[in-house]
Structure 1
Amino acid sequence: MGIEIERKFLLSSDAWRSQVSRSQRMVQGYLVTAAAVTSGAAKSSVRVRVAGDQAWLNIKSSTLGVERLEFEYAVPLVDAETLLARLCDGVVEKIRHYVAHAGHEFEVDEFFGDNDGLVVAELELNSVNESFEKPDWLGREVTSHARYYNLNLVKHPYAAWSAAEREGQD
């Protein structure tokens, strides 16, 4: 069974940029809508992702938090592009930057389009209680805030957030 243990953070500075080892542009869309997941009508999100000349279908449990079920399968690029164009209500576009720090690799997602200006760092861990050293550029944790999940950024993008949402005061 696939389990993802992941924490999400905002960033306190751009200092991470000098530590990027590689970057990859990604486009992803959802076959199960955020409304269905949020309302409880769906127990999982189903994502299609294209990165370069590769593509995947990803299924994650709809629960919020650090630990979730996750399954990912490679799919033909042409199939993924068709799914994105015909069956998804919108897409999230980002560049994922990989940043190593103290034995861990952070994935820093820099969003574009309607989510331009949003930058979120993710860290996958081996256990819920695994400790890690926080780099100076890592800011407030937002793992439990649904608005930062890519699924929700399709229908409620960063450009539409209120000032309170951007400051985490809602």
Structure 2
Amino acid sequence: MSDNDCGFGDFEFERRFYVEHLPSVVLDDPTPTLIVQSYYLAEQGHALRVRAQATGVRLAVDGADHYRDIINRHRTDFDFAAVTVKGPMNAGTRYEAERELDVSIALSMIELGGQVIVKNRYGLFLGTDGWVIDVFGGANRPLIIAECERGSPVTNLEIPHFCVSEVTEDRRFSNESLATHPFSAWAEDFGAELGFSGPTFMTSLGTNRSLPPQDTLE
């Protein structure tokens, strides 16, 4: 989300990373969030999204459930919803304007149309930063993305050991792209690409440092 208190208006500042295995430390989060969101526009980095989320709900993201079944099962658990407009990513900075919606209206809109993503979100602090870990379900299973967001550009970042490669500017990994071109369809190709080229990390945003392991992986 954008941080309007930092003088940057409707902009978000984030860096995103591909994760191969869910770090067990995220399971210490007592209030994971179930997120169901639908994209009504996803073109050239622009996006229009409706999101509903249920705090404290951990979904078994095994790909077995249709998103409508998930909504019906947890309809009374959803406690926040919003419509969001996003612009293209540029060096970890992206325009984002958000407005809160009535939860029931948002759920109806998600059920009626758009391209839907389902994921669990976990939050944790590592080093001096807060991180979120998104574990995707449905056709995007078994994708895991780690994200660090600040109220200003994410420079001189301490990167956790479980972050395999940076995907901040790889549009394939944006949520709106995943809604229309799910990870399961190209996961094998990406694995081969990663094996051939090796991990990459942005060097234009200061010095990257590695955080030592703080947990074992599942």
Rounded to whole Å, the distance in 2 between the matches of 1:70 and 1:64 is: 12
Identity of aligned residues (%): 26
Name the Cα RMSD after superposition. Answer: 2.0
Residue of structure 1 equivalent to 2:76: none
* Structure 1 residues 73 and 131: alpha-carbon distance in aligned structure 2, compared to 1, 3 A threshold: same
Residue of structure 2 equivalent to 1:30: 39
Of the candidates 17, 26, 32, which is equivalent to residue 24 of structure 2? Answer: 17
* Structure 1 residues 129 and 98: alpha-carbon distance in aligned structure 2, compared to 1, 3 A threshold: closer
Query: How many pairs align?
Result: 161
TM-score by length of 1: 0.85
Residue of structure 2 equivalent to 1:50: 52
In structure 2, runs of 5+ residues without a counterpart are 1-8, 55-78, 198-218
Residue of structure 1 equivalent to 2:4: none
Please say which structure displays the higher CA radius of gyration. Answer: 2
Query: Is structure 2 residue 130 aligned with structure 1 residue 105?
Result: yes
Rounded to whole Å, the distance in 1 between the matches of 2:120 and 2:14 is: 18
Q: Is the 8 A contact 1:13 1:138 kept in 2?
A: no
What's the offset of the Cα at 1:64?
Answer: 4.9
What's the offset of the Cα at 1:162?
Answer: 5.2
Greater displacement, 61-70 / 92-101: 61-70
Q: Is the 8 A contact 2:37 2:110 kept in 1?
A: yes
Please state which structure has a larger fraction of its residues in strand.
1
Residue of structure 1 equivalent to 2:12: 4
* Structure 1 residues 128 and 156: alpha-carbon distance in aligned structure 2, compared to 1, 3 A threshold: same
Task: Give, as a single letter, the amino acid of the residue that structure 1 aligns with 2:12.
Answer: E
* Structure 1 residues 130 and 64: alpha-carbon distance in aligned structure 2, compared to 1, 3 A threshold: closer
Residue of structure 2 equivalent to 1:67: 93
Residue of structure 2 equivalent to 1:128: 153
Structure 2 residue matching 1:144: 3-state secondary structure = coil
* Structure 1 residues 167 and 24: alpha-carbon distance in aligned structure 2, compared to 1, 3 A threshold: farther
Greater displacement, 116-125 / 135-144: 135-144
Task: Give, as a single letter, the amino acid of the residue that structure 2 aligns with 1:10.
Answer: Y
